[in-house]
Each structure stands twice: as structure tokens, then as C-alpha cells.
A and B are shown apart, each in its own frame.
Chain A
Amino acid sequence: MLRRFFNFFRPDHLEAEMREELEFHRSQTSGSLGNVTLIRDRMRDASTINWLETTWRDLRYGIRQLRKAPVLVAVAMLSLALGIGANTAIFTLIDAVMLQSLPVRDPGHLVLFNDDISTGVYSGDDFPSNEFSYPSFQYLQAHNDSFVSLCAFRQNTDRVVMHIAGTSEAGPQQRANAHLVSGNYFETLGVNAALGRLLNTSDDTLSAARVAVISYGFWRDRFNLDRSVLGRSVVLNDVSFTIVGVTDSSFFGERIENAPDFWLPLSTQPQVLQRDAWSNSRAKWLTARDVYWLNFMGRLKPGVSLESAQASVNIRLRQFYSEQAGSQLSPATRRKIENIHVELKPGGGGISGLRYLYSKPLHILMAVVALVLLIACANVATLLLARASARRQEFLARLALGASRTRLLRQVLTESVLLSVLGGMAGAAFAWWCVRLLVILLHFPAVAKVRPDPAVLGFAVLLSVLSGILFGIVPAIKFSRLDPRPANAARMANFGHLRFTGQHALVALQVALSLILLLGAGLLVHSLLALENQQLGFRRENILLVGTDADLAGYQPNKLFTLYRTLDERLNQLSGVISASVARFAPESGNTSYYKFAMAGYSPGPDKKMDLSDLPVGPHFFETLGMPLLLGRGIDARDTPESTPVAVVNETFVRQYSPNQNPIGRRISLGSPFKEPGFEIVGVVADSKYHDLRGNVQPMGFFSIWQRPVSGFELVLRTSGAPGGIASEVRRVLDQTNSRLPVLNVTSLNAQVEQSLKQQKTITSLCSIFGVLALILASIGIYGTLAYSVAGRVSEIGIRMAIGAQRQNVIWLVLRDSTLLIAIGVFVGLPLALGGTRWIKSFLFGVPALDPLAMAGAVLLILLLASFAAYLPARRAARIDPIRALRHE
């Protein structure tokens, strides 16, 4: 075999050897050898790998054939480059977002109890399925059926104030990311230490010496990879830790973003998180039964499936909660426990915000570009079929000379795969450019490792070969069906009525696929318009937003009131500022805080959700944003820490919780049951889409930020001119008030709204671009098919005109066929498109799935462009000179 392989690469040597050998034979016999060429042929066949040789010959022949048709090659390569390139680009992003594994041992066996990016702590009577308490962790560890090991970690990373012993105190406070994890965290994940050791179970006890593990990045940036870092002590939130190890350089935690600098044992939670606690309840998380703050990750035992692990985990959790409730188990609680359902997720990819944000848009885009590739393939197939007529004589001759049909099939497929590989190479270059564009358009963060890797490369190669076979198969079958007998060959010449052949099916298919893309794009455009033009409930023009954080300037909670009041006075005096206020979250920032609440004298029904979106704001807030007050008053300067705590609620709140009653004067409290004194409702404000543009309006409560201070807040200013013009003034005010107050981000409300629409816009414009691209490809297909059919019918049309057909008759003759094809395409495509719209449902806003506007638009656009593409060859047909046409025959 090996020798045959080598012979393939040195045919000259082989030929010379064969010639000499036969020459010797002739010299011995002095007679004739017979057909020497035939002998040599058969010797050659025996000495080399036959198929390799013929493939090579097919390839060379294919290249010669393609060079004869530069226009076809150019159009086909362009179509394929677009199709394959776009697919490869989107796949590169999918690969970066969804297919990368954590750099740990055997990530395939890891499972997460919650792979959502949500963070935070829940405290209440429900049994959340996405966060867990410390006692439940202990129970699951004690009753572990499915896992080699099970670890727990805080459902967040914490910003902590850091002081490294032996460095100076000067300058702003240093902060670091700390992540609380159970002692077996690193063992469960399978992470190695770059230096020293990682945490173990004996570190995770209340009596253990407090130790910390640092990340490789932190070791490099802060300690310059100094090995003496082991044993150094570092103070985090006033608690001293000893550094015992550094993690592997590739490890960045179970979350893809927000890499921790420190990993600390869970047992240190009471000390570490104490300082940050505005409320006292946090201190006892390790023992609290109703504080849910942990996420779990387990390594499955060999042979245990995710499903069986999930079943057993759910049973154990129900057991645990029943045992915990003990004799106090009420029927309502029992029902809640029975309804506990935790869904285990594959954990090998970690928790990825990228995946959460981009998986949906990327899947939609993947489907879109797959359709574009299909259309491109159909397009190239139509072009090849059109060319097939030109090559019919060649293939007939080959068949007549005894070529086998499979041999011809192979020749045609070789040519088409050659074409698609050329297209694929152009596509790879296009993909590289496309990826870089998409990364910018979709606002991909730098943490995503977007790069072509073997998976991407393999994908592109596979795609090229597959599409080559896909668009090559129809012409190939057509060729192999040719009949070389003269009578039949003549009959197969194109004359008379159009028969519905593979080529026409391909055109109809292109129309149908384009319609799907166009309708999707139409729906998205319509949604975007609806989103942009909706009533927000506040005026978004001329609002400047400036974020800051008093905690970073070292303010204690009790000093915040003075800060708020100073800022209120100074900002409202600025010239160019009509009104200024503060709020915990900026409008349309996507940040929200929900509270379970209770209202004095109100007992909710059993299934009534008592959830409130909570927003502390400063005086003048409603005037600044232009939110109309419907009843009572807004939050103002009367609401100081000493006066009665007050709240303003929105319309939805009143509709849900105080429908037939004046809400003014009622009192609510955050947390349930009601706790004195609560907040007195002093006003009702109109509904607004404060937090995001898409969702329904939730019950909202506005509180006085003077009475409920928060360290991080946004300045909200209504300006008389362009908001940007006043930004430097605002900076100056902050600097004068306290030079350590940071300016976190400066933007206008309009820009903020635009920002929150950006992804939707990108998806919409990409889908529109691809839709138009598909339409153009389909038009080329229609044009090519008709032009080819007209070329084949020149003599027929000539005869028709000679015996009196008018120009419009001829035009109609050609258009009739194309109209039929387009109509078939539309009728097939429309139901498919309507079925497909549910995939983009989550991107649709304010439009029905059966949107008549988008449907009419898409169909009209297709009819228009397709008719135009069909008209050109029809007009050419009408210009045929009957005399020349007949002479041509």
C-alpha cells in the first residue's frame, strides 16, 4: 500500500521503469509485444492507488473546466464565501460563548444546581430552587447519593476592602474580589495549585486559622510572582487572613466573568461580610435556615446520570425541608415543599453571563446564516444546472465512449466540492473579518476568548465539503441520467413548455427561504420601532446621569444624609440645570431590587405575590424625570431621617393592592410580616417603564434615599441644553464635595435607552442584512434560470414571433413560468416562516406573531425584486429577431 502511495507521487520514475522493463522483454523475444500502451496502463493501475490517481485527474480537469467559466466561479465563490463565512463567524462566537469548558479536571462530570447568572441572597418563607441555605448544604453532604463530592459557594463575589500587611495606608482604599467557597471547592472542581496549597475541608471550620487562596492574576499583578507570598497576611474587611496558595494560571473561578482575587472558606462569612451589612440579618448565614445564599456544584459519581442525580437531590431536599420544619409543618408549607423542583445543569462550562446574554441571539443568527448558506447552495446549484446544458454534449460524448455513470457522477461532484472548497477558503477570510465586526456590533466583552480553534476550523471544512455535495448532487444526478442514444438525446433538448425540474424546485426553494428571513427581519424591525416609540412614562430628553459610590470614598452609612443634602443643594444651583435629584438605580439601567413587602391592614390571598420593586430616590425626583404625580405628593426635602418614613407607589401598585381604596395614608413595610412603623404612602405616581423597556410594569415603591441611604447611587439632572455640556460642572461639584468621590459613569438618558436597545438593534440589522442578501441571491437564481431557459428557447420564440406573436405575448410567455415559481415559493415559505417566528418570540415586542404589516412587506419585497429579476430575461426574449433566430437554427 505504501509503495502504491509513493508511486502516486513519482509517476515519471514509474513510467521510465515500466518502459525499460518492457523494452528488455522485447529485446529478448525479438517479437512484437502487442498493445504496449494497454499493458503499461494496466501495470500503472496495479502499481498506484487507483482512486487517488483518478481523483487527482478529476481535480485537474475540474480546475481547467472552472477556468473556462470565470463569471460562474466568481458568482458561486461570492455566494459560498458569504454563506460559509457568515456561518463560520457565528459558530466562532458560539464556540467562544457556549462550548468552552472550565479549565478543570474532567469538566464533563460537573453539575451545577443553578447556572443562572443571578446573584444575591434570598430570605423568606419560600423554598427557592436557585439558591440554597448552609444547613441544606450540610444535609446534602451527609445524604449524598450521586456525587463524588459536592461543594458550595456564595452566589456572588464580594467586593472587600483590602489591606496588605507591610504596605502603606495612603491613597484610596484598595478593593478586591473575594469569593466564599466551601473547603472542598477546589477538590470538587479539580483545580491545581500553582504555588502552595488550595483550601481543604479542615480550613472550613469556625475554629480553623483563617487562610486564603489567591488567583494567579492577583499573584502576578500584586506580588510580581514572588514565591514569598506564602504565609503573608492580608486584611480583608478588617479580618486578617494568611495566604496559603495560588491557583493554577488558567483558573478564574466557576463564573466566566468577575474573576475573584481571593477564595475564602465559607466559615469566615460572619467576619468577612459583617462590615458591608446595612441590616444585621447577614451575620448568621451559616446557621440561618431561611437565608438562601449558596449555589452548589457536584462531581457526579461514575455511571450516575444527571437525571438520576437530579431525582435524588430533589427527594433529599424535600426530606431536609420537611425535617427542618418538624412539627411546625403547615399544610401550605407542605405544599411548597412538595413543589420543590431543582433542575441540575451541566457544570463543565461554569456560570457564564456571556452564555446567558448571547446564547439566544447567537442561536437565532446561526439559524439565519444557515438559511443564507442553504440559499447560496441552491443558487450555486441553479448556476451549475444552467451550465449543465452547455456541457451536455461533452457528457454525452463521454457516456457514448463508455464512461460509467458513477465515474461521471464523481467527476461532477469533484468539481462542485472543488468550487465549495474555494468558496470555503474565501469564506474563512471573510469569517475572520466578520467575527471582528460582530464582536464590536454585539458588544462582546474582552473576557470571551474569540479565536479560531480546531473546532471552528473543522466546522468550516465540513461545511464547505457538505455544501459542495449539497449543490453538486442535483446537477450530478441530471448528468448521470443523460441518455447517449441519438434519438433520446435530441428529445432532451429544451423545447416547448417548461417542465417542473430540479432547477425550478431550487428557485422556488430560494424564494421560500428568502421569505422566511425577510419575514423574520420584518417582525424584528417592527418590534424595534414599537420599542423605540412606546410611552416610557417619563421624558427621556436632556437628562444627564452620573454614577458614584460613597462607599469608595469611605463614607459610613450615618454620614450619607449630609452628603445627599449637600449634593442636592449644590447641583440644583448649577446654571443650566433645571432640576437635579438622585436615585439608587438609573432608568433603563437594567438594575433592580425586589422586596417582599407587607401592608398594614391588608391580608393577601394565598397565591398573591407581595413583591415590590424598590427604589430609593432623592427630593425633586419626579419633577426631574417628568413623571406625573396622580395623587398626594412626591418625595421631598421634608423626608429626613428624623421624620416619618414615607413611600410613593405607582399606579400598578394601587391597582393590585389597593384597588377600591385611597392608598394615601396606608403603611407598608419591606419584608413580611408587617413591621412597625413601616413607610407611609404619601403619593401615587403614573406608571413608567423604569427598569427596562420590554417587560410589564411591576408594582413599584419609591422611598426617600435620605431615610434609606445607599452608598452607590446615580445623580439625575434635567438640563436646559445638551446633557453632555454640564458633565464637567457636575464632576467639579462632586470633587468639591469630596475629592475621593468617584465618577463611575456619565451618560445621558437617551444614550442609556439606546444602549439598552443596542442588542435588539444589532440583531435586527443583521437579520435585515441577511434577509436582503438572501433576496439578492434568490434573484440571481431566478435571473439565471430564466436567462438560461430563454437561451434554450430562442428558436421556439423566433417561430412564435414569425407567426405573429406580439412582444407582450413573448414577455408573458417567459414571465408566466417565473410567476408560477415565485408563487409556489411564497405559498411554501409563508407557513414555514410563520412557524419559525416563535423562535424569535423573545425578541418581539408589541407586534403580533401574525403581523400583517411585516407579512405584506416581506411578500411585496420578494414579488417586486423577483419580478424584476424575471423581467430582464423576458425583455431579452422579446427582443429576439425572428429572422436571425431561425437562421441560428
Chain B
Amino acid sequence: MPRETLQGTLDLLILKTLAPGSEHGYGITCCILNASQNQLRVEEGSLYPALRRMEADGLIKAEWRASENNRRARYDHVTRAGKKHLAETVERWRRNTAAVSSFLDFA
């Protein structure tokens, strides 16, 4: 996935992925890859700093737990502020894409 598209939407993808429950960093990349039918590939170099930033901003919260294969892993989940942020971002995304599509159809 090209960097410039990712820049604005990475937070959205992460929040959406984490919305049902908690997941570790590797799981998030897999999840996004699968859900987008191998279209969106998140780089580790972008993902981990983003997770840190969103944690510092209070959108997600992290805890250390045992993973499926019994290794210690850091699981993130969405906070209440994160849920609110997600709803707003999704809403804005829909509006913007709808606007751009209608413009493209018209032109």
C-alpha cells in the first residue's frame, strides 16, 4: 500500500480491526491483509510507531498477555475515546469518499 494513502487511514484501519476485541501487532497486520483481500499491507515500520502514538493519545490501551502459542505478546484494545474517534472517522471517510465518487461519476 502506497505510503500517502496509508498516512491518513492507518489509524482508521487499526481502530476498526481492534473494535471487536484486543489483538497484537502481528495479528493486526494479518487481519488488515485478509479483510482487504491482500490489497492493504501495513508495514511494521508504520504500524508500531502508530500504535505507540495512539496509545499516548488515549485511543487504545495495551496489556501483555499470553498469545495463542503461549508466548508473551502485547495486546491492544480500543478505549472509549478510541470508539468515539472511530465512529467519527468512519463517518468522515464515508462522506468524503461518497463526495469524491459522485464527483468522478459526474465528470
Seen from chain A, the residues whose Cβ lies within 8 Å of a Cβ on chain B are 1, 3-4, 17-18, 20-22, 24-25, 27-29, 33-35, 38-39, 42-43, 45-47
The answer on a CB contact under 8 Å between A20 and B44 is: no
A35's nearest neighbour on chain B, judged by CB, is B45
The answer on a CB contact under 8 Å between B71 and A27 is: yes
**Given the interface contacts A39-B49, A43-B49, does A25 sit within 8 Å of B56 by beta carbon?**
no
The answer on a CB contact under 8 Å between B45 and A25 is: no
Nearest first, the 4 A-B pairs at minimum CB distance are A46-B53, A42-B49, A46-B52, A28-B26
The answer on a CB contact under 8 Å between A34 and B48 is: no
The answer on a CB contact under 8 Å between B26 and A29 is: yes
Q: Kindly list chain A residues whose C-beta atoms are within 8 Å of the C-beta of B26.
A: 24-25, 28-29
CA distance in complex: A33, B45 (Å): 8
Q: Kindly list chain A residues whose C-beta atoms are within 8 Å of the C-beta of B71.
A: 24, 27
B54 to chain A, nearest CB (A): 9
Q: Please list 29 pairs of residues, one from A and one from B, whose beta carbons are closer than 8 Å in the complex, sorted by A's number.
A: A1-B56, A3-B56, A4-B56, A20-B72, A20-B74, A21-B74, A22-B48, A24-B24, A24-B26, A24-B73, A24-B74, A25-B25, A25-B26, A25-B48, A33-B44, A34-B43, A34-B44, A35-B45, A38-B45, A39-B48, A43-B48, A43-B52, A45-B49, A46-B49, A46-B52, A46-B53, A47-B52, A47-B55, A47-B56
CA distance in complex: A29, B45 (Å): 14
A21's nearest neighbour on chain B, judged by CB, is B74
User: B101 within 8 Å of A by Cβ?
Assistant: no
User: B67 within 8 Å of A by Cβ?
Assistant: yes
| Contact indicator per residue, chain B 41-70, by CB within 8 Å of chain A (1) or not (0) | 001110011101101100000000001000
- Report B2-60 residues with CB < 8 Å from chain A CB: 24-26, 43-45, 48-50, 52-53, 55-56
Give 13 new A-B contacts, CB below 8 A, not counting A22-B44, A24-B26, A47-B55.
A3-B55, A21-B48, A22-B48, A24-B73, A24-B74, A25-B25, A25-B48, A33-B44, A34-B44, A39-B44, A39-B49, A43-B52, A46-B50
CA distance in complex: A817, B49 (Å): 57
Q: Kindly list chain B residues whose C-beta atoms are within 8 Å of the C-beta of A22.
A: 44, 48
Q: Kindly list chain A residues whose C-beta atoms are within 8 Å of the C-beta of B72.
A: 20, 24
CA distance in complex: A288, B56 (Å): 79
Q: Kindly list chain B residues whose C-beta atoms are within 8 Å of the C-beta of A27.
A: 71
B38 to chain A, nearest CB (A): 15
The answer on a CB contact under 8 Å between B67 and A24 is: yes
The answer on a CB contact under 8 Å between B55 and A25 is: no
The answer on a CB contact under 8 Å between A46 and B56 is: yes
CA distance in complex: A29, B41 (Å): 14
A31's nearest neighbour on chain B, judged by CB, is B44
A45 to chain B, nearest CB (A): 7
Q: Kindly list chain A residues whose C-beta atoms are within 8 Å of the C-beta of B24.
A: 24
Q: Kindly list chain B residues whose C-beta atoms are within 8 Å of the C-beta of A45.
A: 49
Q: Kindly list chain A residues whose C-beta atoms are within 8 Å of the C-beta of B49.
A: 39, 42-43, 45-46
Q: Kindly list chain A residues whose C-beta atoms are within 8 Å of the C-beta of B74.
A: 17, 20-21, 24
CA distance in complex: A4, B74 (Å): 18
Contact of B45 among A17, A21, A24, A42 (CB under 8 A): A42
A483 to chain B, nearest CB (A): 33
Q: Kindly list chain A residues whose C-beta atoms are within 8 Å of the C-beta of B53.
A: 46-47
CA distance in complex: A17, B64 (Å): 10
The answer on a CB contact under 8 Å between B55 and A39 is: no
A5's nearest neighbour on chain B, judged by CB, is B56
CA distance in complex: A38, B44 (Å): 11
CA distance in complex: A3, B50 (Å): 15
The answer on a CB contact under 8 Å between B52 and A25 is: no
B81 to chain A, nearest CB (A): 13
B43 to chain A, nearest CB (A): 8
A51 to chain B, nearest CB (A): 14
CA distance in complex: A1, B49 (Å): 16
CA distance in complex: A34, B46 (Å): 12
- Which has the most chain B C-beta neighbours within 10 Å: A20, A21, A34, A45? A21
B53's nearest neighbour on chain A, judged by CB, is A46
Q: Kindly list chain A residues whose C-beta atoms are within 8 Å of the C-beta of B43.
A: 34
Q: Kindly list chain B residues whose C-beta atoms are within 8 Å of the C-beta of A3.
A: 55-56
B42 to chain A, nearest CB (A): 12
CA distance in complex: A3, B55 (Å): 9
The answer on a CB contact under 8 Å between B56 and A34 is: no
**Given the interface contacts A20-B72, A24-B26, A25-B26, does A34 sit within 8 Å of B45 by beta carbon?**
yes
Q: Kindly list chain A residues whose C-beta atoms are within 8 Å of the C-beta of B52.
A: 43, 46-47
CA distance in complex: A557, B24 (Å): 104
CA distance in complex: A42, B26 (Å): 18
Q: Kindly list chain B residues whose C-beta atoms are within 8 Å of the C-beta of A4.
A: 56
A47's nearest neighbour on chain B, judged by CB, is B52
CA distance in complex: A46, B44 (Å): 15
Q: Kindly list chain B residues whose C-beta atoms are within 8 Å of the C-beta of A28.
A: 26
The answer on a CB contact under 8 Å between B56 and A21 is: no
CA distance in complex: A21, B55 (Å): 14
B51 to chain A, nearest CB (A): 8
Q: Kindly list chain A residues whose C-beta atoms are within 8 Å of the C-beta of B56.
A: 1, 3-4, 46-47
CA distance in complex: A20, B50 (Å): 17
CA distance in complex: A66, B26 (Å): 47
CA distance in complex: A34, B43 (Å): 10
B7 to chain A, nearest CB (A): 14
The answer on a CB contact under 8 Å between B67 and A25 is: no
CA distance in complex: A605, B69 (Å): 116
CA distance in complex: A17, B53 (Å): 15
B76 to chain A, nearest CB (A): 10
CA distance in complex: A39, B43 (Å): 10
CA distance in complex: A1, B57 (Å): 7
B15 to chain A, nearest CB (A): 16
Q: Kindly list chain A residues whose C-beta atoms are within 8 Å of the C-beta of B73.
A: 21, 24
Contact of B44 among A17, A18, A25, A47 (CB under 8 A): A25
Q: Kindly list chain A residues whose C-beta atoms are within 8 Å of the C-beta of B45.
A: 34-35, 38-39, 42
Q: Kindly list chain A residues whose C-beta atoms are within 8 Å of the C-beta of B44.
A: 22, 25, 33-34, 39
Q: Kindly list chain B residues whose C-beta atoms are within 8 Å of the C-beta of A21.
A: 25, 48, 73-74
CA distance in complex: A800, B24 (Å): 74
B93 to chain A, nearest CB (A): 23
B30's nearest neighbour on chain A, judged by CB, is A28
CA distance in complex: A29, B43 (Å): 13
CA distance in complex: A42, B55 (Å): 14
A40's nearest neighbour on chain B, judged by CB, is B48
Q: Kindly list chain B residues whose C-beta atoms are within 8 Å of the C-beta of A17.
A: 74
Q: Kindly list chain A residues whose C-beta atoms are within 8 Å of the C-beta of B48.
A: 18, 21-22, 25, 39, 42-43
Q: Kindly list chain A residues whose C-beta atoms are within 8 Å of the C-beta of B55.
A: 3, 47
CA distance in complex: A42, B46 (Å): 9
Q: Kindly list chain B residues whose C-beta atoms are within 8 Å of the C-beta of A35.
A: 45
- Which has the most chain A C-beta neighbours within 10 Å: B25, B48, B52, B73? B52
- Which has the most chain A C-beta neighbours within 10 Å: B48, B53, B74? B48
Q: Kindly list chain B residues whose C-beta atoms are within 8 Å of the C-beta of A42.
A: 45, 48-49
B54's nearest neighbour on chain A, judged by CB, is A46
A108 to chain B, nearest CB (A): 44
